[in-house]
Amino acid sequence: MPPSEANTLFQEDPRGRPPMPNPEAVLVCVGPGPDSERLVRRAARQSGRTGAPWHAITIETPSVSGMPEPVRSRIFATLKLARDLGGETTHLTGLDPVAIAISHARKHRLGTLLVGRDRRRRLPWQHGFAEKLARLAPDLELLQVARDDHTPKITLTPLFSRTARNTGWRPHLLAILGVTLVTIGSTPLYGRFDPANIVMLFLLAVVFTALRYGRGAAVLSAFLSVAAFDFFFVPPRFAFEVHDAQYLVTFTVMLIVALVVGQLTAGLRFQVSAACEREQRMHALYEMSRDLSSAMNVPQIITICQRFIKRVFNSEMAVFVPGPEERLQLADGSAPLRAADRHMAQWSFDHGQNAGWGTDTLTSTLAMYVPLKAPTRQCGVLALVPDEPDWELAAEQQQLLNTSATLIAIALERIHYMLLAQDAQVRMASEQLRNTLLSAISHDLRTPLTVIAGLTDGMRLANPPLSEPHASLAEAMGAEVARTITMVNNLLDMARMQMGNVILKREWQTLEEVIGLSMGHCASLLVHHQVAIDLPADLPLVELDTRSMERVFSNLLENAAKHTPRGSRITLSAHLEGAFIKVSVTDDGPGVPPGMEQKLFEKFTRGHMESTVSGFGLGLAIVRTIIEAHGGSVWAENGPDGGAGFNLLLPLGEPPELPEEPDPPHVTLEPFP
């Protein structure tokens, strides 16, 4: 392709100027040579230093298509390495790899082409891949990496190689048969038609052979056609002698035309075959992705995948998904397979690698294990058991399998998050319903409880006073009514907080004042305990909602008093810790049950389910909600010498500067006369 034609591959912007390629962006051309892996790693290192994107491409030409399967597998393994290292990979098909590489580089604005050095010795008029790139793309930088001479050389298949479908002697035998039939059919035409017309018949045989059986058979057919035409139709007949020199020109032109036409026809056949195979792969993937997009549960996904795997890979399949503690189990709707082992699938899941048949790991099994990797998580393992014992995947089929595994993983991930979303919606609806019921019940209970509390106070203040045991009964009724009112208030406050109706009126306060008010509310509960207050005198002001923080300290002190025996010690202390004030309420009681340190702050959760201590388990939940609304945090822990400790962290903020108090006036006392 001339340079002028190559330059037309440049994409132009609307103003007519071609976009400038990024010189830091790298394009690696992956081929069958042993240097491809080094090129990929070199590009990944350069991208890591510069942060620029890099691509790795492989170009399938007729010569690459005819290479042995191990060589082709090595090419696709190198592409997989490039994907793992963060590069963007592409598999392209065509006849001119130089033009395709330049087109891809300019299309994606890749300013540097990274290639290996040519290992083949060429004739003086022949040019290697790198030389052609330099000649046709002078605007792109070309970087050749030194080759490693210790790497064993690879013997490549010649240009006129046998394709995977037309291997062996059969295509060549059919080419000989075709030339023979044309020779026999043209014999009656000798003397009646001009020799140039007979040459056309032989050229037709070459075209048909190239179209049907590929390059190797077409080359053989071209040489045999020239020989047959010389032997049977050029005087003297039945001899390889030529009396007229003009027939030498005829033979030369005929051979050149036959070879060129055969090459073009075989190349066209290769492109058609590659396009058909690519279309079949894309159609199969499209059908599977279309069906997977409409699947609503895991059994439907399994059914779709079984149909696809059976049609494309002629294999049975099973899907393992993670269960409790990330241990694999058969997915719903997946039937167990005799050759599929769960322990081998677990190894593939833990290491994120293919294993089993056709891989380098755990090759003794008759199944292949492919991890199902989704964008955010690993969803399981796909196990394939072939129907035929000599089953083997080509490089293209391996790539198709990896792509289909990714689609299956994405579908499983979608179902997983769909179930999580449904569960979250159900929990949100139930939570809203529960909060509504709590709010309604709390409002309906407050009026009769207030009336009962008033009647109880009236009984205790009756004149004349009640006699025993009626006075004791009235006192007990008053205590129970007060406790019930407290629980109803907790329910109402919790419902209000969950509905987002918490409005803080924050003011700068001292902790001493707030804690003092809280202790006054809990005086009846703390009368049988030893309460110690340890507050430094230099504690700064804290911006608090006084009413809410009174509730916090009241709940903590009440919780400590209820869950410790009489005579135990309760300590409330505070000190500065960085940009926070840490407040601790500790006791010397039985402590927090193991594993309940965080769960205690959830609604309707109690440390001991079977307990004589009354309550709904809302006090600590209210504490956490209020503290988090203030921008702080709360946690529970057991002390080193036993007992429970509840710790609060409150942000300091920037307290206002207090005005300095004026000095008292100086008074001089004179002696009284």
CATH number for the domain harbouring residue 588:
3.30.565.10
For residue 164, what is the DSSP state? S
Q: What is the pLDDT of residue 142?
A: 87
Please tell me which residue, 330 or 284, carries the higher pLDDT value. 330
Same domain, 511 and 637: yes
pLDDT tens digits along 169-183:
788 888 888 888 888
Structure token pair of residue 529: 């305990």
Are 29 and 101 in contact by the 8 Å Cβ rule? The answer is: yes
Least trusted range by pLDDT, from 160-169, 439-448, 490-499, 556-565: 160-169
Least trusted range by pLDDT, from 49-63, 201-215, 327-341, 437-451: 437-451
Where in the sequence is the domain holding 354, given as residue range(s)? 293-422
Q: How far apart are the first and last CA of the chain?
A: 127
Report pTM.
0.49
Q: What is the pLDDT of residue 517?
A: 84
For residue 297, the tally of other CB atoms under 10 A from its CB is 12
Q: What is the pLDDT of residue 54?
A: 92
Instruction: With respect to residue 494, please indicate whether it lies within any of the assigned structural domains.
Output: no
The Cα 588–Cα 225 span in angstroms is: 107
> Which of 211, 127, 197 lies closest to 166, judged by CA?
211
The sign of the CA dihedral 505, 510, 511, 513 is negative
Overall average pLDDT of the 154-177 stretch:
55
Same domain, 183 and 109: no
Instruction: With respect to residue 672, please indicate whether it lies within any of the assigned structural domains.
Output: no
The Cα 276–Cα 573 span in angstroms is: 79
Instruction: With respect to residue 537, please indicate whether it lies within any of the assigned structural domains.
Output: yes
Please tell me which residue, 640 or 604, carries the higher pLDDT value. 640
Same domain, 325 and 246: no
Q: What is the pLDDT of residue 409?
A: 92
Same domain, 511 and 647: yes
The tally of domains found in the chain comes to 4
The Cα 462–Cα 659 span in angstroms is: 52
Segments of 79-201 assigned E as strands = 88-93, 110-116, 141-145
Among 492-506, 569-583, 585-599, top mean pLDDT goes to: 569-583
Instruction: With respect to residue 34, please indicate whether it lies within any of the assigned structural domains.
Output: yes
pLDDT tens digits along 101-137:
898 898 888 989 888 877 665 556 667 788 888 888 8
- Cβ neighbours of residue 132 closer than 8 Å, sequence gap 6 or more: 98
Are 37 and 82 in contact by the 8 Å Cβ rule? The answer is: no
Q: What is the pLDDT of residue 607?
A: 54
Q: What share of the chain is helix, strand, coil (3-state, %, to 5)?
A: 50, 15, 35
* Helical ranges in 234-382 per DSSP H: 246-294, 298-313, 342-351
User: What pairs with residue 649 in β-bridges?
Assistant: 582, 633
Least trusted range by pLDDT, from 53-62, 79-88, 208-217, 592-601: 208-217
Q: What is the pLDDT of residue 65?
A: 65
Instruction: With respect to residue 501, please indicate whether it lies within any of the assigned structural domains.
Output: no
Q: What is the pLDDT of residue 640?
A: 82
**What CATH number does residue 124 fall under?**
3.40.50.620
Overall average pLDDT of the 294-320 stretch:
88
Residue finishing a domain among 393, 422, 451: 422
Q: What is the pLDDT of residue 371?
A: 92
Instruction: With respect to residue 101, please indicate whether it lies within any of the assigned structural domains.
Output: yes
Same domain, 636 and 560: yes
Same domain, 327 and 258: no
Question: 3: number of CA atoms within 13 Å, CB side?
Answer: 9
pLDDT at residue 536 is higher than 70: yes
The Cα 359–Cα 73 span in angstroms is: 11
Overall average pLDDT of the 232-248 stretch:
76
Residue finishing a domain among 422, 438, 459: 422
Same domain, 12 and 135: yes
Q: What is the pLDDT of residue 148?
A: 63
Instruction: For the chain, give the mean pLDDT.
Output: 78
The Cα 565–Cα 560 span in angstroms is: 10
Strand, coil or helix: what is 232? helix
Q: What is the pLDDT of residue 124?
A: 63
Q: What is the pLDDT of residue 628?
A: 84
Q: What is the pLDDT of residue 487?
A: 67
Q: What is the pLDDT of residue 197?
A: 82
Overall average pLDDT of the 249-253 stretch:
75
Are 586 and 637 in contact by the 8 Å Cβ rule? The answer is: no
**What CATH number does residue 414 fall under?**
3.30.450.40
> Which of 179, 192, 186, 199 lies closest to 250, judged by CA?
199
Strand, coil or helix: what is 229? helix
Structure token pair of residue 453: 């509390």
> Which of 228, 227, 219, 204 lies closest to 171, judged by CA?
219
Are 543 and 508 in contact by the 8 Å Cβ rule? The answer is: yes
pLDDT at residue 268 is higher than 70: yes
With cut-offs at 50, 70 and 90, classify the pLDDT of residue 664: low
pLDDT at residue 16 is higher than 70: no
Overall average pLDDT of the 311-327 stretch:
87
Same domain, 565 and 603: yes
Place of tokens 């407290």: 486
Burial 35-73 (b: 16+ CB within 10 A, else e): bbbbbbebbbebbeeeebbbbbbbbbbbbbbbbeeebbb
Residue finishing a domain among 365, 395, 422: 422
pLDDT at residue 660 is higher than 70: no
Same domain, 186 and 217: yes
- From residue 597, alpha-carbon distances to 70, 395, 551, 645 in Å are 59, 55, 21, 10
Give Rg (Cα) of the chain: 43
Same domain, 244 and 110: no
Same domain, 180 and 139: no
The Cα 273–Cα 266 span in angstroms is: 10
Please tell me which residue, 69 or 281, carries the higher pLDDT value. 281
Overall average pLDDT of the 653-670 stretch:
59
Overall average pLDDT of the 288-312 stretch:
88
Instruction: With respect to residue 511, please indicate whether it lies within any of the assigned structural domains.
Output: yes
Q: What is the pLDDT of residue 410?
A: 92
Same domain, 218 and 315: no
The sign of the CA dihedral 413, 417, 419, 420 is positive
With cut-offs at 50, 70 and 90, classify the pLDDT of residue 604: low
Least trusted range by pLDDT, from 191-200, 302-311, 651-660: 651-660
Strand pairing category for 141-145 and 580-587 = unpaired
pLDDT at residue 383 is higher than 70: yes
Q: What DSSP element (H or E) covers 653? A: none
Cis ω for the linkage preceding 236 (within 30 of 0): yes
> Which of 110, 175, 167, 172 lies closest to 137, judged by CA?
110
Q: What is the pLDDT of residue 616?
A: 46
Overall average pLDDT of the 52-60 stretch:
88
* Helical ranges in 335-469 per DSSP H: 342-351, 395-460
Strand, coil or helix: what is 23? strand
- From residue 570, alpha-carbon distances to 483, 528, 588 in Å are 21, 11, 7
Instruction: With respect to residue 566, please indicate whether it lies within any of the assigned structural domains.
Output: yes
Are 536 and 575 in contact by the 8 Å Cβ rule? The answer is: yes
Q: What is the pLDDT of residue 498?
A: 60
- From residue 514, alpha-carbon distances to 168, 255, 475 in Å are 95, 106, 29
Among 91-95, 279-283, 413-417, 465-469, top mean pLDDT goes to: 413-417
The Cα 427–Cα 637 span in angstroms is: 29
